[in-house]
Amino acid sequence: MTKLTLGSYPHMLGFEQLERLLERTSKTGNEGYPPFNIEQTSDYSYRITLAVAGFRDEDLSITVEDRQLVIRGRQSDDGMDRVFLHRGIAARQFQRSFVLADGVEVGEAIMENGLLHVDLSRERAETVVQTIQINKG
């Protein structure tokens, strides 16, 4: 079976970057932790909410790397001297990545009741009309 690429379509010119972007997103970890929501809060804004109960602000980092929003969490296990009879809440680390389209900017991040909210906004696209002059050959 032949793999179709965007270069296979003659009307799709200059979309090689989009193809690389799709490949990169398919390789990101999909382990499911922590669970998250993505909501559209207006025509030009979004909010990503991650369930990060048990994490403190200093346990989390939010960066934008090569048009990719990366949220990392690492809990320090400061209870080394405690004896657990049952340990159902594991101190585990995570990394969640979200690929951002051109024009999408990361706004503020808010921690509230064990939920991390990250607000994103998108520029309004201007309609550009360009007239091309035809030269005589």
Q: Is residue 134 part of a domain?
A: no
Q: Is residue 82 part of a domain?
A: no
- For 82-133, what is each residue's pLDDT tens digit? 888 987 776 689 999 998 988 899 999 999 999 999 999 998 878 889 999 9
Q: Is residue 49 part of a domain?
A: yes
- CA dist 69 and 8 (Å) reads 30
pTM: 0.71
Q: Is residue 46 part of a domain?
A: yes
Please say if the pLDDT value at position 25 is more than 70.
no
Q: Is residue 127 part of a domain?
A: no
The pLDDT assigned to 32 comes to: 82
- For 46-76, what is each residue's pLDDT tens digit? 999 999 988 999 999 999 998 899 999 998 7
Q: Is residue 135 part of a domain?
A: no
Contact 109, 62 (CB under 8 A): yes
Residue 59 maps to which CATH number? Answer: 2.60.40.790
The pLDDT assigned to 98 comes to: 92
Question: What's the domain range around 70?
Answer: 32-77+88-122
